[in-house]
Amino acid sequence: MGINWARVVLGGLAAGLVMNVSEAALHGGMLGADGVAHLKALGLPEAQQPWQLPALVAMTFVLGIASVWLYAAIRPRYGAGPRTALCAGLAVFVLAHLWSGVYLGAGFAGLITPKLAFLPVAWGLLEAPIGTLVGAWLYRE
């Protein structure tokens, strides 16, 4: 049986919603003041370009869809259920959160603070698997 693309999108949008709410809590709450202070210290404007926030939200929904697609793709080999969803979520964590955190922390060392580079990595270790778990719960073949 093939992948149910309508359910991938449905589950992916749910996963993306979980991830977007989580990102809003992280960047708007926990890291908000640090981010503003960091921009000021670098002499950069606090205001974002109008396209930036919608682009980040949209790409987080794309990440949610990709996470449920990955779950659907590995499901025949690993079986349906939460364990497989968590495996897919951990793979998404490695490919998205861990990679970007190391890239920012190592590639821009001295320019970006460790907290701004690595707290999102730790946050993503929960966010990606939980979002994928929610999305996979809605997936049916």
d(CA 43, CA 93): 32
Name the residue type at position 86.
L
Q: In 3D, which of 34, 57, 60 has the Cα closest to residue 112?
A: 34
pLDDT confidence of residue 86: 98
Length of the chain: 141
The pLDDT of residue 121: 93
Q: So where are the chain's domains?
A: 5-138
Tokens of 29: 């709450």
Along the 141 residues of the chain, how does pLDDT read in single tens digits? 799 999 999 999 999 999 999 999 998 899 988 888 888 888 888 777 889 999 999 999 999 999 999 999 999 999 999 999 999 999 999 999 999 888 888 878 778 888 888 899 999 999 999 999 999 999 998
pTM: 0.92
Closest CA to 14 of 128, 141, 134, 140: 134
Task: Check residue 7 and give its pLDDT.
Answer: 98
pLDDT at residue 95, as a whole number: 95
Query: pLDDT value at position 49?
Result: 85
